[in-house]
Amino acid sequence: MKPRLVIPLALCAALAAAGCGSSKKSSSNNAATPPPSSAPSTTTTPAQKGGGGSKLQLAADASGQLLFDKTSLSGKAGKITLDMSNPAPVPHGIAVKGNGIQQKGPTVSQGSSSTVTVTLKPGKYEFYCPVDGHEAAGMKGTLTVK
């Protein structure tokens, strides 16, 4: 019994070595085929992909108060860029923190914009001005990511 089993097995193994490689490839091709059928649903998103993530705009208070013009922002999970323009005669910047994230944009003077790009998961974050004392004075808001 044993010899008979060993030989067929050895032959099978030899054949399988050659056959397996191609059969595995074709089976992995088959496995890769289903995703494209679900891909059409993603074809509705290229419009958003074109932006390379979402961009949220805000501005510092033009009169020089330590405030942003918004106290809440919301965006989609993924890459988010906060773009803050600074019309005030006071240097300001934009930064994001929360859930282990802490990213600061540059501090810019009047007429310039500070941007910061972060990749965020759904949750609540804080956006604030990284200039000393500004956050404490109220230059902050909530960023909700969905």
67 binds Cu ion (CB under 5 A): no
Q: Number of C-alpha atoms within 13 angstroms, CB side, residue 47?
A: 2
| Token digits of residue 64 | 């020089």
Least Cβ distance, residue 93 to Cu ion (angstroms) = 6
Strand residue runs (E) in the chain: 54-59, 72-75, 78-86, 95-98, 101-104, 112-120, 123-128, 140-145
- Per CB under 5 A, the list member of 80, 116, 131, 145 interacting with Cu ion is 131
140 binds Cu ion (CB under 5 A): no
- Which range binds Cu ion by CB under 5 A, 10-18, 49-57, 89-97, 109-117? 89-97
For position 108 contacting Cu ion by CB under 5 A, the verdict is no
Q: Interacting stretch for Cu ion, rule CB under 5 A, among 10-18, 32-40, 76-84, 122-130?
A: 122-130
Q: CA separation (Å) from 124 to 35, 68, 73, 101, 119?
A: 32, 18, 10, 11, 13
The H-assigned helical ranges of 33-130 are: 34-38, 46-49
Q: Which residue has the tokens 């494209």?
A: 36
CB of 125 to Cu ion, least distance (A): 18
Among 59, 96, 120, 129, binds Cu ion (CB under 5 A): 129
Candidates 8-16, 23-31, 116-124, 134-142; binding stretch for Cu ion (CB under 5 A) = 134-142
